[in-house]
Amino acid sequence: MAKPKKRRKLIIFSVIGLVLVALTLMAVLKKRAPAIVVQTEPVARHSLTNVVVANGKIEPVVQVTISPEVSGEIIELPVKEGQQVRKGDLLVKINPDIYIAATNQAMANYESSLAARASAEANLEKAQADYDRNLELFHSKLISESDFIGFKSARDVAKAQLDSADDQVNVNQATLESAQEELERTIIVSPLDGTISKLNSQVGERVLGTVQNAGTEIMVISDLNQMEARVDVGEMDVVGIKPGQKAWLDVDAFKDRKFAGVVTDVASSSKDSNLPQGYSTGSSQSQEATKFQVRIRLTDKEAFRPGMSVSADIETEYRTNVLTVPLASVTTRLLSPTKMDPPKTAGTNTAASTNAAIAGTNGAVSTAKAKESTKMTDVVFVVKGDHVQAVPVKIGICDDNYWEITDGLTNSEEIVSGGYRAINRDLKDGSKIKKGLATSEEMKP
Amino acid sequence: MPASPTSMTPTTSLAGRLLNIFAAPGEVFDEIKAASQSTATWLVPVLIYAVVGVISVCIVFAQPVIQQTIHDQQVKAMDKLVQQGKISQAQEDQMLQAVEKFTGPTMMAVFGSAGMVVYSFASIFGWALVLWLLGYWLLKAQLGYKKTLEVAALSSILLVLDLVITTLLTVIFGRLNAGPSLALLVSDFDLNNRLHLLLGAVNVIYLWHAGVLAIGLAKLSGSSIVKASAAVFGFWVLVELLLIAIGMGQWAL
């Protein structure tokens, strides 16, 4: 009786012991890591348009600043801001009094010089006649040599005086012409058809001419029929922009509308490079990014005004039906050398020394490649069952939603597309995952 | 005169009794019925239950996957409140920060351990009371509470085994509620799913424990094992179903 009881006890304790030992071994040997909740989607094909966004202002294509060439008081200003003018219309009249007086003075000097020349001509005529008459007498030895020289000198002096009078006439004539020109410049007419977009001066103001100064900017005339957006593009993006590219423009004053445009010009030098060498713009400006001006002609007509703010989306590149992944799917990781392309192995060689040399070289190459491959690499996490694999990829262009993948993925693969924290921090090659909806915490960076 | 059979029967040590509960619980309870009351007989198993429970809690809450699971559950619960409009997103962020501060692994282990000690005493005293009431009302037997306490305490060694197995299964499978029950068949156990709770309640060790209690009740009351089993199992099933029905199913596991 005791023996069956003992056997039963032995069996029961043995079973319990085996179960505990087996479970303990399984617990010790099995590593568990928390599964990371992710969202996934398949790799898909899309058409992409790479867009460069830039901000700027709308300005007329043709814009002329009117400054006077002569200084004086404005006595007539028959135009106002916003008025349309035609080529040749009177814009400004400057007080001509001093210029009239200068012209009259120049005229008087000119006429005086004419009279002086006439007098010199008459003197020369007389001196020439006296010379000719006394030459015959000198040859007949009826007068002395010294007397003859006197008549000769008189003729030469008269000739020189005539030349001087001639020169003085020319000088006075040029002065008269200059005075007349300055008088004409007191009347300014429009050089083009356009609109007075800016009027800085009023009747009675004294303005400076441009002869020796920058001149007063009286007004600006613009052709508002042809407008362009002048936007600033950073140096990283400007290399992709070329004349002829399409652009879509968002003008702040016309919300919910997009205007079409075409790139017409890309600046060859940056805005800061126009400053003289050694010129300092101040501490705050010296840290601004380098910008290049791009001009975009607006093809859509609208009542634009110079100075309106505009944001341009310039379409620089297009890709049709290419492999794409969501923007959030691509991140960077430091991949181990085994994940990168392995170095090519050497061919077989019977010579042991050659083999050793090759092995040594391969070792050096492997070490060099290992060092090269430890840099950060663009990766996408590909779903493999309940784990992920970090796959290095090559990316092309992107738009607002997708990256183009040029190498590393195929059409049928499923990749991790969210949450933000999982992709950028938590996921590693081989991490265990669990598909589910993103919590608010997982969506935060 | 020859010695009476009972006086010849040697009494087993407490350790022997605890071991014999697994293989021959009837013999153990016969000794308990014949012997005088002993505090050590119920106190030592309760203390063993409490200590193993504390160790189990510390091991479970030290698992990264368990910490992540609890954290995910907390975040999901907060997100639900935000979606229902009961709290704002900013309030959720503040609450999560406070929760992370006060429910880290150490704090969870501390509170869990304290709870385990209280539970171990409460469950054994509770089962003792149940056995006494079942004996009095259903089996019409006057049982001493201290005797039922000794039976309940000795039977709790099976619950210690359940704790050990559950802890090992939790570490292996990396999820809570991974006890020796039909809930192991469910990969994504949901405490709000009544079917999952029912499967979790079908625990091999709990059934064994109920059987041993039934044997103890039968021995103490002198009634048949069938009647005692009906009483104990009937009570157990009723309580499990009631807890699951009123939404407190996690206490049924």
Does the distance separating the beta carbons of B64 and A32 come in below 8 Å? yes
The three-class DSSP label of residue A141 is coil
DSSP B172-216: HH-SSS--SBGGGG-SS--TT-HHHHHHHH-BHHHHHHHHHHHHH
CA distances in angstroms from A75 to A82, A91, A96, A180, listed in the order given: 21, 11, 9, 19
Mean pLDDT (whole number) for B101-108: 74
Digit-coded pLDDT (tens) for B167-225: 999 888 887 778 898 888 877 777 777 888 888 888 999 999 999 999 999 999 988 99
CA distances in angstroms from B121 to A20, B118, B186, B205, listed in the order given: 25, 5, 31, 19
pLDDT higher for B88 or A409? A409
Does the distance separating the beta carbons of B169 and A23 come in below 8 Å? yes
Provide the chain A residues 34-93 that lie in CB contact (below 8 A) with chain B. Answer: 34-35, 37
Written in H, E and C, the secondary structure of B53-71 is: HHHHHHHHHCCHHHHHHHH
Gap between the Cα atoms of A134 and A147, Å rounded: 9
Structure tokens at B132: 């006494």
| Amino acid at residue number A191 | P
The closest of B113, B92, B208 to B157, measured between CA atoms, is B208
Residue identified by tokens 């879509």 is: A248
Does the distance separating the beta carbons of A20 and B165 come in below 8 Å? yes
The partner residues of A392 in beta bridges, in order of sequence, read A379
Domain parsing of chain B, residue ranges:
24-252
Distance of CA A107 to the CA centre of its chain: 54
Cβ(A120)–Cβ(A196) below 8 Å: no
Does the distance separating the beta carbons of B75 and A440 come in below 8 Å? yes
Q: Which of B55, B81, B168 to mutate to test the interface with A (most CBs of A within 10 A)?
A: B168
Closest residue on chain B to A35 (Cα): B65
The partner residues of A220 in beta bridges, in order of sequence, read A65, A198
- For chain B, percent of residues with pLDDT exceeding 70: 92
On whether any CB of chain B is under 8 Å from the CB of A366, the answer is no
The beta-carbon neighbor of A24 closest among B23, B64, B168 is B168
Structure tokens at A27: 């617990």
Does ipTM come in above 0.85?
A: no
Tell whether omega for the bond before A419 is within 30 degrees of 0, i.e. cis: yes
Show the low-confidence residues of chain A (pLDDT under 50). Answer: 280-285, 341-366, 369-372
pTM for the model: 0.50
Reading across the β-sheet that carries A187-189, which strands appear in turn?
A187-189, A90-94, A72-76, A206-207
Q: Which of A13, A441, A443 to mutate to test the interface with B (most CBs of B within 10 A)?
A: A441
Gap between the Cα atoms of A85 and A192, Å rounded: 8
The beta-carbon neighbor of B75 closest among A34, A35, A439 is A439
* Beta-carbon-side half-sphere exposure of residue A364 (alpha carbons within 13 Å): 5
Digit-coded pLDDT (tens) for B108-119: 888 889 999 999
- Find chain B residues with C-beta within 8 A of A27's C-beta: 168, 171-172
The beta-carbon neighbor of B165 closest among A9, A23, A37 is A23
The beta-carbon neighbor of A13 closest among B22, B69, B164 is B22
**Residue B8 pLDDT more than 60?**
no
Interface of B with A (CB under 8 A): 19-20, 22-24, 63-65, 67-69, 72, 75-76, 78-79, 82, 89, 92, 96, 161, 164-165, 168-169, 171-172, 174
| Amino acid at residue number A338 | T
Cβ(A103)–Cβ(A209) below 8 Å: no
Gap between the Cα atoms of B193 and B189, Å rounded: 8
> What pLDDT is attached to residue B11?
72
Does the distance separating the beta carbons of B172 and A30 come in below 8 Å? yes
- Find chain B residues with C-beta within 8 A of A9's C-beta: 20, 22-24
> What pLDDT is attached to residue A2?
66
Q: Which of A8, A15, A19, A32 to mutate to test the interface with B (most CBs of B within 10 A)?
A: A32
| Amino acid at residue number A390 | A
B89 falls in which pLDDT band (50, 70, 90)?
A: confident
Report how many Cβ contacts below 8 Å link chain A to chain B.
60
Cα distance from B19 to chain A (closest Cα, Å)? 9
On whether any CB of chain B is under 8 Å from the CB of A114, the answer is no
Structure tokens at A422: 């999982």
Gap between the Cα atoms of A270 and A233, Å rounded: 9
- Find chain B residues with C-beta within 8 A of A1's C-beta: none
B74 falls in which pLDDT band (50, 70, 90)?
A: confident
Does the distance separating the beta carbons of B22 and A16 come in below 8 Å? yes
The three-class DSSP label of residue A351 is coil
Cβ(B49)–Cβ(B74) below 8 Å: no
On whether any CB of chain B is under 8 Å from the CB of A21, the answer is no
b/e code A58-73 from CB counts within 10 Å (16+ = b): bbbeebbebbbebbbe
> What pLDDT is attached to residue A365?
47
- Find chain A residues with C-beta within 8 A of B164's C-beta: 20
Instruction: Give the DSSP letter of residue B35.
Output: S
Does the distance separating the beta carbons of B165 and A19 come in below 8 Å? yes
Cα distance from A1 to chain B (closest Cα, Å)? 13
Does the distance separating the beta carbons of B24 and A23 come in below 8 Å? no
Does the distance separating the beta carbons of B64 and A34 come in below 8 Å? yes
> What pLDDT is attached to residue A355?
45
> What pLDDT is attached to residue A9?
86
Q: Where are the alpha helices (DSSP H) in chain B?
A: 5-8, 14-23, 25-34, 39-61, 64-83, 89-102, 105-137, 145-173, 194-201, 204-221, 225-245
Gap between the Cα atoms of A358 and A59, Å rounded: 68
On whether any CB of chain B is under 8 Å from the CB of A443, the answer is no
The beta-carbon neighbor of A440 closest among B19, B65, B92 is B92
Instruction: Give the DSSP letter of residue A307.
Output: T
Closest residue on chain A to B22 (Cα): A12
Does the distance separating the beta carbons of A32 and B65 come in below 8 Å? yes
The three-class DSSP label of residue A375 is coil
Q: How many angstroms separate the most distant Cα atoms in chain B?
A: 87
CA distances in angstroms from B188 to A434, B192, B210, listed in the order given: 11, 12, 28
| Amino acid at residue number A233 | V
